[in-house]
Amino acid sequence: MNQPDFDLAITGAGPVGSALALLLASNAPQPERIVLVAPPPRAASEPGTDPRTLALNQGSRSLLEPLDAWPDSWADILTVHVSQRRRLGRTLITHQELDVPRLGSVVTYPSIVQTLHEASRRAGVTLVHGQAGPSTPGQPVHLQTDAAPLSCSILVRSDGVRPAGLKRSYDQHGLLAAVRASRPKPGVAFERFTREGPLALLPHPQGQDVYSLVWCCRPETAQSLHALNGAGFARALHEAFGERVGHFELASDRKLVPLTLSAGPQLLDPYTVAIGNAAQTLHPVAGQGLNLGLRDAAQLASVLRPWLQQPRLSPTPFLQDFAGRRRIDRWATGAVTDFLPRVFTTRQAAVEHAAGLALLTLDLFATLRAPLARQLLEGLRA
């Protein structure tokens, strides 16, 4: 068999794929034989207009910082305040009770991707710009890109492809934006459940009075909110969220994203594996999708460490081991993020009161709150 062009190719150069490239390079004798296939670069957005932010939990930050892959600007989450609109019951999760410096951090999407790409280049990873097309399974795997065809021993799909398998539509859109608050509470993130879906306000790296908004609601409501002028949108947000941080002012463009659950197998064939969005897409409640994808990357890099020393070995046993190790964490995280947005949107008074009682119970008993908080903070790491 002819030697392939690369030992391993990663399609999708978002945070998960880029983090995997960097993690693999740190243990590879020839990091240049790892190729990251990135879409052609886009023109940069004007400052303050791009609403995309990412909430990384403390486990994800602990993964990236030692790799010199943490951006210069971020906003820490020290407390999470969970409540239900027009019902009693709320709970607080604090970094002190979990004995960590923070629960998580919020970064902008462009900053984390740029930082990861720069770190990958320094580590010796080959970065190719081009759209990845179909692959031909086999040993080696042949991959079409619009830059050039290439061959590899292992192909990792990290984003851009919806997994085949479990599908669920939540009949919700996520409206993303940045907003300013007149009475901000630095370090506090809010998750407020409404009858149409959760509404999250997260600290924003742009300033202590700025929040990253993820407002999940019915598609027709989302379209109406998107069409409002800035002042009308701020009033609608104040009505939905309440008085906790004062009045709002729109501080960015708005973006709409349909919300679905997709989950499929991670081992696609003996030489191809899916991680991140190519393996699962989750509801954004509690901000778990990216963190789950980064755990995919960390586990795959750990499992492939011995293979990188002897890349002529068959990778199949290593990829099978990886898929088995990830099963429980994927199931647990997917179950939590699927249950929460559905149970709070039944519009049944008895269910809403029960959910409020559950929030109150979690607030009163730390022993009940801790397992959920730990799952959201770190996930299940094999």
Q: What is the pLDDT of residues 229-253, one digit of tens each?
A: 999 999 999 999 999 999 999 999 9
The better pLDDT of the pair 18, 131 is held by: 18
Whether the CA torsion 111, 117, 119, 121 is positive or negative: it is negative
Q: Which residues contact residue 230 at a Cβ distance below 8 angstroms, ignoring those fewer than 6 apart?
A: 249, 250
Question: What pLDDT, on a 0 to 100 scale, did the predictor assign at position 52?
Answer: 86
3 state SS of 106:
strand
Q: Average of pLDDT values for 83-107? A: 85
**Residue 135, strand partner residues:** 143
Q: Average of pLDDT values for 108-123? A: 96
Q: Is the pLDDT of residue 175 over 90?
A: yes
Q: Which of 61-65, 328-332, 363-367 has the lowest mean pLDDT?
A: 363-367
Q: How is domain 6-44+109-165+260-343 classified at the architecture level of CATH?
A: 3-Layer(bba) Sandwich (3.50)
Q: Which of 156-170, 330-344, 352-366 has the lowest mean pLDDT?
A: 352-366
Q: Is the pLDDT of residue 65 over 60?
A: yes
Question: What pLDDT, on a 0 to 100 scale, did the predictor assign at position 364?
Answer: 52
Q: Which residues contact residue 152 at a Cβ distance below 8 angstroms, ignoring those fewer than 6 apart?
A: 4, 5, 6, 7, 8, 9, 35, 140, 141, 143
Confidence of residue 188 (pLDDT cuts 50, 70, 90): very high
The CA distance from 81 to 71, in Å, is: 26
Q: What is the pLDDT of residues 125-155, one digit of tens each?
A: 999 988 888 888 888 999 988 878 999 999 9
- According to DSSP, residue 196 is labeled T
Question: What pLDDT, on a 0 to 100 scale, did the predictor assign at position 145?
Answer: 87
C-beta separation of 204 from 211 below 8 A: yes
Tell me what percent of the residues of the chain surpass a pLDDT of 70.
85
Beta strand pairing status for 104-108 and 75-77?
antiparallel
State the average pLDDT for the chain: 88
The CA distance from 318 to 27, in Å, is: 15
The better pLDDT of the pair 168, 220 is held by: 220
Q: Average of pLDDT values for 171-200? A: 95
Confidence of residue 353 (pLDDT cuts 50, 70, 90): very low
Confidence of residue 348 (pLDDT cuts 50, 70, 90): low
- The reported pTM is 0.91
C-beta separation of 101 from 61 below 8 A: no
Question: What pLDDT, on a 0 to 100 scale, did the predictor assign at position 267?
Answer: 95
Q: Which residues contact residue 342 at a Cβ distance below 8 angstroms, ignoring those fewer than 6 apart?
A: 170
Q: Is the pLDDT of residue 363 over 60?
A: no
For the chain, domain boundaries: 6-44+109-165+260-343
Two tokens at 195?
Answer: 């009858």
Question: What pLDDT, on a 0 to 100 scale, did the predictor assign at position 373?
Answer: 63
Q: Is the pLDDT of residue 112 over 60?
A: yes
- According to DSSP, residue 62 is labeled H
- Count the neighbouring beta carbons within 10 Å of the beta carbon of residue 118: 13
Backbone angles phi, psi at 208, to 5 degrees: -70, -20
Q: Is the pLDDT of residue 379 over 60?
A: no
The CA distance from 32 to 279, in Å, is: 26
Helix (H) or strand (E) holding 235: helix 230-241
C-beta separation of 258 from 219 below 8 A: yes
Q: Which of 48-52, 76-80, 134-138 has the lowest mean pLDDT?
A: 48-52
CA separation, residue 333 to residues 185, 289, 300 (Å): 28, 9, 18
The CA distance from 142 to 134, in Å, is: 9
